[in-house]
Amino acid sequence: MLKEARKPVWSLNEFDKQIITATYFGFMPITAPRITEEDIAASKHCAALPYYDAAEKSALIRSYINNNFASLPHPLALVYKKKKPESYSLHFIGAQGGIAEATLIRAALSMLAEEGYKNLSVHINSIGDKDSICVYERELASYARKFGSSLSAPLKESLREDIWNLFRRDEEEMIQLRAAAPSSVAFLSSQSRLHFKEVLEYLESLAIDFRLAPELVGEKNHCSHAIFAIKNLVDEVETTLAVGYRYSRLAKRLGLRKEIPMAGVTIFSAAKNAAKKIYKQLPKPKFYLVQLGQVAKMKTLSLIELLRLHHIPVHHFLGKDKLAAQLSSAESLQVSYLIIIGHKEALDGTATIRNVATRAQDTIPLELLPQYLKKISL
């Protein structure tokens, strides 16, 4: 008699609503990595700042190595829950393009909306790659020397210790000085500028409310490229609910041979409801969503959110451009139907539904797709 295959040590047996929501966007639930002395040592060059936990990111990278996540198909999306304090972390690994940030933002917004948050907005900035950060740091130092002569002695010393304190101190003098400070976006390398442009194009295609926030500069030693915060506005008071950014530069410190694109978001306030329903199984998709081309890819996240609102999970391989890889994934999952969005469908606002067995297909307007899928899945 064959022994039943053991579940991986990082897998979960129970899932709450937030984890379920994340799985709609392709995030695989795992146990939260435990921060060790090794992780603290690997991130000791990073400043300890609110919202930017380099030690946690190091722990995730170490878990990635120890559990051989590199052997899984990439891009790889992971989600886990931390209990003290309760929060959720989502990570998108192996994607150079803006699809990583777009997926993290869309999933985080959905998770927060499920908890009843209504007045959500995305604040976003980019500090670019390592070279961009160095150029910007020099520009900030020059600006502070030129216009910060009237600062008090303690504030001047704070800027000498770390020029990025310009964005962290709350004294009125510092607030006034940073109001006219140069923006990091003006000093992005050409490649960093293209990346940030792609991220913003995704947000626009998703009709997500966002504003440019030059004060979001993160932690210079491990953050890079786009940095975003999701905020909630109640009675003219904004509260930060989630913060995300790329942290690829930590990878080599944990033993990886090369820098792997890694981006993540931590949701700090996704648990308004005290009583949480626990699920024993994840949703089981009956469809596979295939996207072809950049225009189609930008439609994909909106479609996944539409289907999620109708409780229709779909398999997909976000971040994977090649058709062969997507079809191979669909074949291995033995789905009965493909949902195909190519360039023409994206422009027309439609999707092609193909029966894998008979090859018969229909073209359906996207707004009618949930009802169509519910009928054929009965």
Residue 348 shares a structural domain with residue 324: yes
Q: Are 182 and 211 in contact (CB under 8 A)?
A: no
**Amino acid at site 55:** A
Residue 39 shares a structural domain with residue 102: yes
Residue 39 shares a structural domain with residue 180: no
170 located within any domain: yes
CA distances from 340 to 59, 95, 106, 344, 354 (A): 37, 22, 21, 11, 8
Specify the pLDDT at position 252.
81
The range of the structural domain enclosing residue 98 comes to 17-62+72-128+192-267
Specify the pLDDT at position 290.
95
Cα 101 from chain centroid?
4
Residue 22 shares a structural domain with residue 117: yes
Task: Write down how long the chain is.
Answer: 378
6 located within any domain: no
CATH label of the domain that carries residue 324? 3.40.50.800
Question: Rounded to whole angstroms, how far apart are CA atoms 124 and 245?
Answer: 10
Q: State the maximum Cα–Cα separation within the chain, in Å, rounded to a whole number.
A: 81
Residue 177 shares a structural domain with residue 50: no
11 located within any domain: no
Q: Which two tokens stand for residue 232?
A: 């909630």
Question: Rounded to whole angstroms, how far apart are CA atoms 56 and 88?
Answer: 12
Residue-level pLDDT, tens digit, the chain, 378 residues: 333 445 576 778 889 999 999 999 999 999 999 999 999 999 999 999 999 999 999 999 999 999 999 999 999 999 999 987 889 999 999 999 999 999 999 999 999 999 999 899 999 999 999 999 999 999 999 999 999 999 999 999 999 999 999 999 999 999 999 999 999 999 999 999 999 999 999 999 999 999 999 999 999 999 999 999 999 988 888 999 999 999 999 988 887 888 899 999 999 975 555 567 888 999 899 999 999 988 899 999 999 999 999 999 999 998 887 889 899 999 999 999 999 999 999 999 999 999 999 999 999 999 999 999 999 875
**DSSP tally for the chain: helices H, then strands E:** 12, 12
Residue 218 shares a structural domain with residue 239: yes
Q: Are 20 and 73 in contact (CB under 8 A)?
A: no
Query: Considering its fold, how many domains does the chain have in total?
Result: 3
- Neighbour count for residue 252 (Cβ, 10 Å): 14
Helix %, strand %, coil % for the chain, to 5?
Answer: 40, 20, 35
Residue 112 shares a structural domain with residue 227: yes
Domain boundary among 171, 186, 201: 186
332 located within any domain: yes
Specify the pLDDT at position 137.
97
Residue 123 shares a structural domain with residue 138: no
Angle at 287 between CA 285 and CA 288, to 5 degrees: 110
Residue 157 shares a structural domain with residue 92: no
Dihedral sign from CA coordinates of 307, 309, 311, 317: positive
Residue 177 shares a structural domain with residue 138: yes
Residue 324 shares a structural domain with residue 354: yes
Specify the pLDDT at position 336.
92
CA distances from 311 to 42, 292, 302, 319 (A): 41, 24, 14, 23
DSSP secondary structure of 309-375? HTT---B--TT---HHHHHHHHHHHT-SEEEEE-HHHHHHTEEEEEETTT--EEEEEGGGHHHHHHH
CATH label of the domain that carries residue 251? 3.30.930.10
β-pairing, 210-212 vs 120-126, is: parallel
CA atoms lying within 13 Å on the CB side of residue 147: 17
